[in-house]
Structure 1
Amino acid sequence: MCKDEERTIEKCLNVIFEQINIQDEVIVVDTGSTDQTIEIIEREFPQLRLYRKEWNDNFSEIRNYIIS
């Protein structure tokens, strides 16, 4: 789950990809970024699944969406 993380998203995802098995699936749900977060993800990490869901101030709803 992320929103407006252009300063840290690349470093964060690089660490994740260093730690996982190549067969693992990585899912990112963006909750309404207005910066370059989505562009960075699409450009640098085309192998992951990127979804968008607007944040409505309900963490559990987003968490359940990610799990589904």
Structure 2
Amino acid sequence: MHDIIPVKKTITAEKAQKVLTEEGLEVSLEEAKLILEFLRILAKIVVKHYLVNHEQSRSIREGEYRRTGR
């Protein structure tokens, strides 16, 4: 997948595994890596969807009182 937004990967698989274990979910290191990869992909999709929809909504000209202009 092509990165649109640079991602700073500050959560390691080891840290994710520890957090999940503390919450009562036992996962292997490989499973933690897959979970993190999935969450990063999901986050990118959500941000991209938001940005695309936000740009489309801004195509309507805002007037002086934040109403649409004509």
TM-score (norm 2): 0.27
Q: Which has the larger radius of gyration?
A: 2
Q: Which has the higher strand share?
A: 1
Q: Which has the higher helix share?
A: 2
TM-score (norm 1): 0.27
Highest RCO, 1 vs 2 (Cα 8 Å, sep ≥ 6): 1
